[in-house]
Structure 1
Amino acid sequence: MVRAVGSEERSERDAASELAEHRLSVLELAKELDNVAEACRRRGLDRTSFYEWKRRFQAGGFEGLKDQPPVAKNHPMKTPAETVARVRELALQHPSFGCNRLEAMLALDGRRVSAITIQKILNDAGLGSQHHRWLALEAQSAGRPVDLTTEQAAFVEKLNPCFRERHVESKAPGELLVAQTFFVGSFEGIGKIYLHAVVDTYGSYAFGLLQASRQLEVAVAVLHGSALPFFRKLGLSVAAVLTHNTREFRGADPHPYELYLKLNGIEHRRPRAKTSRTNGFIERFNAISFNEFFRIKMRDNFYDTVDALQADFDQWLTYYNTERSHLGYRNQGRSPIEAIHAFADRGFQDWHK
């Protein structure tokens, strides 16, 4: 191997010397003929190159006629690699910060980098937007435990409401459901419409019933007619339901909703005092259903009955549960039904088909 490399190097040196001898012969022929143009014509060399080689021969002799190695291209204003690494590090430590703020932080370290250069560095690293930095944080923590800073946690919570209630853990489908009622809007020909929704916190599988009121009978109907039968067919029981503090879920004892839960052996959980919020799972479902279904249907369709709207909503809900991918630390890109398939046995898969 060493012999082959040495042979290659000798060949390169011989070729360089041969080329230099050819150039020297042109110079000598021009001196002999006392005619540069004729010498260049005979040896196939242009006159500009002739004078260049003559200048280099006068300055460096025979060695000056040899081709020199290329000069390494290194832009004098190129950002040092250490600074580039620091920019990427700060962008992940403070994912909500803009380039101007990162520029100020780098200046405190004695690094002078413009906001435009910082944006280019982040773009090249795939961290150019807050969304990309969020995905990078999720990829960084995937498959291993990681302690997020308070700032990083707040940033992820802002983009992914499900992360806000990461302390609400459920180890199986049906272990904890979240129920809430939302005002959808006023439809011409129908009036006010409310969505009574129930979402499973294990994989975001959702159930929904549209009605023109917030009556507790409808809230019970979603559980009794949709959610509980669904989990019974899986061979699973519903352990607890988390609701907000509105009249369809709680009130003077005995309240019908709480009584129904008690008769079915289901624990009734409520949010912390002085708040009506439940958690990010159902808030996320509300936002998705409004943006991807109601906003479109209210603009493009006319409904004169709740049943007609419910039929279209059921069709969309099937898409939501079985086809739509869900980001977040629970589903990780899977649809709700795929998350349940990962837990359930083959009997449920055969039943679902």
Structure 2
Amino acid sequence: MSNNEIRSKLALLQLAKEMGSVSRACDIMGYSRDSYYRFKRQYESAGEIGLRNLSRKKPAMKNRVAPEVEAQVIEIALDYPNYGQARVAELLTARGCVISPSGVRAIWVRHHLATKRNRQLALQNSLEQRSNGDNSLTSELYQIQQDQSQLECHFPGDVCVQDTYKLGEVGGLGVLYQHTFVDAYSQFAHAWVSTTNDTAAAAEFLLQQVTPWYQQQQLPIGTILTDKGAEFFGSRSKAYQTAIERLGCGHVHMRAYNGPVVNGLAARFHTLIWNELYEALFKQQRFDDLDQLQQHLQQWLLRYNHQYAIAGRYTLGKTPEETIEVSRHLVPEQ
């Protein structure tokens, strides 16, 4: 919902209060009385954010076909990266698994396998994850690597994305922001809700919430990709720049995440968490305690990182935790 629509609903509530007549206010603003009382309940329970409509577009986290069918499509994409969608559909039909070429392509798109080059890159990633020192795969890896440029990510922690997501005005807490950190290789995510979005909050989140986990997992933080928000870049980002120096990691800032691997990674995660967690949560209850909201967020993150099957070039339907475990041998010794 746009801000204009929220303002329109707020105007209706204010007009009814000033005129002392719900019916006259509804006639002027073009709303029904039922809508007025619904808006009033939503505003009283959750503030302005409660006036947002529930999105009808939900992310399809579950497979649209049977998991075993999707697994076979991915397997063939890695075994025969040169095959087109029609050829793959024919091969699966011969195996007794009926799927249309468009169904194959839909699965490819979700896993970033829609082009031959991406399927070849995914094959290399899969071989690297499975190799674990197995010399029998060395020649196959070498042949693939000769026909491509360097990959953007090589292991968990190699490239990470940090962003700040405005949640809006929430109950009695005021305007809230979610600080987000996502590993571009495994898509393992950390998040924390704060009342501020300044550089001190971004640095504190990085040093106190994110870094200890990476140290515990013995994973590096190689390069952090951010946008050019004031908390990350410019004269008001001193605290964050100091944190980057303290960690000794790289920092790349750009106007948009335009790389093949991290393209829209933070934006997609924010869309997912809004649709899966915040949207319904803010409709159901009013929050006056930030710790209570943090608890809901951390519980959701636990499910996401350990139970959600993530589509991606490196994850290929595995959970973020599983992707890290099968890729640990790719992490350089520190």
TM-score (norm 1): 0.52
Per the TM alignment, residue 188 of structure 1 is displaced from its structure 2 partner at its CA by 1.8
Per the TM alignment, residue 212 of structure 1 is displaced from its structure 2 partner at its CA by 1.6
2:279 aligned partner: 295
CA distance in structure 2 between the aligned counterparts of 1:314 and 1:280, rounded to whole angstroms: 22
Map residues 91-106 of structure 1 onto 2, 5 A cutoff.
none
CA distance in structure 2 between the aligned counterparts of 1:174 and 1:136, rounded to whole angstroms: 20
| Conservation of the 8 A alpha-carbon contact between 2:108 and 2:114 | no
1:216 aligned partner: 199
| Conservation of the 8 A alpha-carbon contact between 1:126 and 1:132 | no
Which stretch of the first structure deviates more once superposed, 277-286 or 302-311? 277-286
Aligned with residue 188 of structure 1, among 160, 171, 175: 171
CA distance in structure 2 between the aligned counterparts of 1:288 and 1:235, rounded to whole angstroms: 28
Per the TM alignment, residue 129 of structure 1 is displaced from its structure 2 partner at its CA by 9.7
Is the partner of 1:145 in helix, strand or coil?
helix
| Conservation of the 8 A alpha-carbon contact between 2:111 and 2:312 | no
Residues 125-165 of structure 1 show CA distances to partners (whole Å, capped at 9, x for unaligned) of 3536973674699488599528xxxxxxxxxxxxxxxxxxx
Unaligned runs of 5+ in 2: 1-82, 88-97, 122-148, 330-334
| Conservation of the 8 A alpha-carbon contact between 1:246 and 1:276 | no
Q: For the structure 1 residues 189 and 341, does the alpha-carbon distance in structure 2 shift closer, same or farther, using more than 3 Å as the test?
A: same
Is the partner of 1:197 in helix, strand or coil?
strand
Residues 53-105 of structure 1 show CA distances to partners (whole Å, capped at 9, x for unaligned) of xxxxxxxxxxxxxxxxxxxxxxxxxxxxxxxxxxxx99879xxxxxxxxxxxx
Per the TM alignment, residue 344 of structure 1 is displaced from its structure 2 partner at its CA by 2.3
Q: For the structure 1 residues 140 and 261, does the alpha-carbon distance in structure 2 shift closer, same or farther, using more than 3 Å as the test?
A: closer
Unaligned runs of 5+ in 1: 1-88, 94-122, 147-165, 346-353
Is the partner of 1:189 in helix, strand or coil?
helix
1:327 aligned partner: 311
How many residues align structurally? 207
2:265 aligned partner: 281
Map residues 262-277 of structure 1 onto 2, 5 A cutoff.
262-271=245-254, 275-277=255-257
Structure of larger gyration radius: 1
Is the partner of 2:120 in helix, strand or coil?
coil
Is the partner of 2:178 in helix, strand or coil?
strand
Q: Which amino acid aligns with 1:145?
A: Q
1:315 aligned partner: 299
2:102 aligned partner: 127
2:325 aligned partner: 341
Is the partner of 2:231 in helix, strand or coil?
coil
Sequence identity of aligned pairs in percent? 24
Q: Which amino acid aligns with 1:344?
A: R
Map residues 137-156 of structure 1 onto 2, 5 A cutoff.
138=113, 145=120
Q: For the structure 1 residues 328 and 144, does the alpha-carbon distance in structure 2 shift closer, same or farther, using more than 3 Å as the test?
A: closer
Residues 321-347 of structure 1 show CA distances to partners (whole Å, capped at 9, x for unaligned) of 1111101222111110110011226xx
